[in-house]
Structure 1
């Protein structure tokens, strides 16, 4: 399916520039979700058809990042995936994170280890023989900054440091693979446009060998009742019991994404982001997230309220206006925001 045809499956109100907060669902996902909610209302089905969408979602996410489905674990939040990984760190571990990292990829490490920080673009050089793990976002939530991934992986390999990435602001518009990564977590309600309550994680075999399923439950095990304690093979041993309706809508959305050429989505998003940058007097960039200092117009919060009155929905992060552009965004959405700013 080409991108122009696919975009007709989304129905955003004009001025939605906030996918970095949450993405909008395509029509097939809403249709399937409405069907499931009607089934729930009337008790007209068993839960198994809903659970089948969990299997479909796992397979679709694995395809999206080029990983085996057996290496994919399911959760409701990225922070819960990181928390399970954190329990595998030995006492005295040190975890390096960017100094502007979103706290869902900071607090789990702070509960289990000593946290060191560095500027996002100097993360690689801050890795030392004492660094047990480096945890970072592939794309920073507040600024849209893309991590220097190749440099981080090279430095981590030199010191046998675990490489752990948050892909929540990347998967869905930026090509993402697991090459060189020990773990990856993704909250799917942003650029993957799934309901909140669906999250995916990649756990490498070498990392899983160090981990214990600290959130063990009936879904991660092989039996619904009683002992003995037995775990599912592969990364499924670390699954949370799924929020079914989140996956009912996640499955068709991820499958639709896999029918599209991610290069087309990437090009579309960057073209719109750079259209906004040009209109706002910024140089071209390489991210679908743009952070804009609006001091001349007032505080970030004041600017955000001004844009909202003009029909533009954006966000304020770290005191700056944040706008984000996805496949359903149009040039008219960009121009509406620029007109409101000027």
Structure 2
């Protein structure tokens, strides 16, 4: 689908610059969710159609990040998806993490302290140099939620491989606008309600097959079975052979809304999304006299910025003491200019 045609599929109120908090659904996603809710309200249909949305979403996500769908597990949150990886670390392992890392990719490692797992935090810019022979796993956000900084993915992966360390990536703030190859890491977890524009309660994890064999699916239920349709009752344990053994039973309606949004992203193409989003972010930066960047998330330090934006009806966020603005497919040049008028007018 051409970008200009796709942009007509959103109806935002002017001034939404906060996709880094949550994304807005395109019309196909909204319509599918309303139809499912209407059916649920009156008991018009069975659940199987809703369940198929999970598999559609899994396939679309896999295509976006360049991995086989069989290597993708689905769940509800990033921390829940990372928990089996943290639990599989050997006692006494060392994890290296940026010092300002979102806690969904920090707490799962920290809670392993009772097993002697050490979490060493370092400045984000020094992550490559901090990886050494004593590092068992390096965990980082591909795009930092605090300020939009894009990590040195290539450099971090190369350093980790040189020292035999695992690589765990939280790509929640990247997936949907920043093209990347998930298969270069060992685990890539993504929350689906931001740049993927699905409802909250959807999450994906790419798990490299070699790592997956080391994980124990402690949350396994009927949906983690090789054939969920025949795994409602009784032993023996019969888990899926692929990443689905790490699945949790899907919250149907969240996935009903997620699948069309992901499929639309696939139609548009992530490179086109990146060009659109970053161009708007750079229009915003230029208006404030700042140099261009390479991220769809920017932070600004303008006196009274938060109050000025709120008075103008601009919805942004404050992270690390600065106003954070984020730009996605439904953001327009008019939204950017409205924000600039509020900040410099």
> Contact conserved, 2:283 with 2:336, CA < 8 A, in 1?
yes
Equivalent residue runs for 1:159-238 within 5 Å: 159-222=163-226, 223-238=231-246
| Counterpart-to-counterpart distance in 1, 2:308 and 2:94 | 43
- Residues 110-148 of structure 1, C-alpha deviations (whole Å, 9 max, x = no match): 012211011111101100111110000000000100000
- Alignment of 1:52 with 2:52, yes or no, is yes
| Counterpart-to-counterpart distance in 1, 2:40 and 2:328 | 32
Aligned to 1:101: 101
Aligned to 1:321: 323
CA apart distance, 1:327 = 1.2
Equivalent residue runs for 1:290-301 within 5 Å: 290-294=298-302, 297-298=303-304
* 2:67 alignment partner, SS class: coil
CA apart distance, 1:281 = 2.0
| Counterpart-to-counterpart distance in 1, 2:83 and 2:297 | 27
Point out the more displaced range, 176-185 or 245-254: 176-185
CA apart distance, 1:264 = 1.5
Aligned to 2:43: 43
TM-score by length of 2: 0.96
| Counterpart-to-counterpart distance in 2, 1:9 and 1:104 | 31
- Residues 257-294 of structure 1, C-alpha deviations (whole Å, 9 max, x = no match): 11112221111111111111111121111100001123
| Counterpart-to-counterpart distance in 2, 1:47 and 1:330 | 38
* 1:110 alignment partner, SS class: helix
> Contact conserved, 2:173 with 2:194, CA < 8 A, in 1?
yes
> Contact conserved, 1:99 with 1:119, CA < 8 A, in 2?
yes
- Alignment of 1:152 with 2:156, yes or no, is yes
> Contact conserved, 1:84 with 1:215, CA < 8 A, in 2?
no
- The one of 287, 305, 308 aligned to 2:307: 305
* 2:265 alignment partner, SS class: helix
- Consecutive unaligned residues of structure 2, counting only runs of 5 or more, are none
- Residues 43-81 of structure 1, C-alpha deviations (whole Å, 9 max, x = no match): 111110000111111111111111101000000001101
TM-score by length of 1: 0.97
Equivalent residue runs for 1:3-14 within 5 Å: 3-14=3-14
- Consecutive unaligned residues of structure 1, counting only runs of 5 or more, are none
CA apart distance, 1:304 = 2.0
CA apart distance, 1:311 = 1.2
Aligned to 2:91: 91
* 1:323 alignment partner, SS class: strand
- Alignment of 1:126 with 2:134, yes or no, is no
| Counterpart-to-counterpart distance in 1, 2:291 and 2:29 | 37
> Contact conserved, 1:32 with 1:249, CA < 8 A, in 2?
yes
Aligned to 1:80: 80
CA apart distance, 1:305 = 3.4
| Counterpart-to-counterpart distance in 1, 2:43 and 2:184 | 46
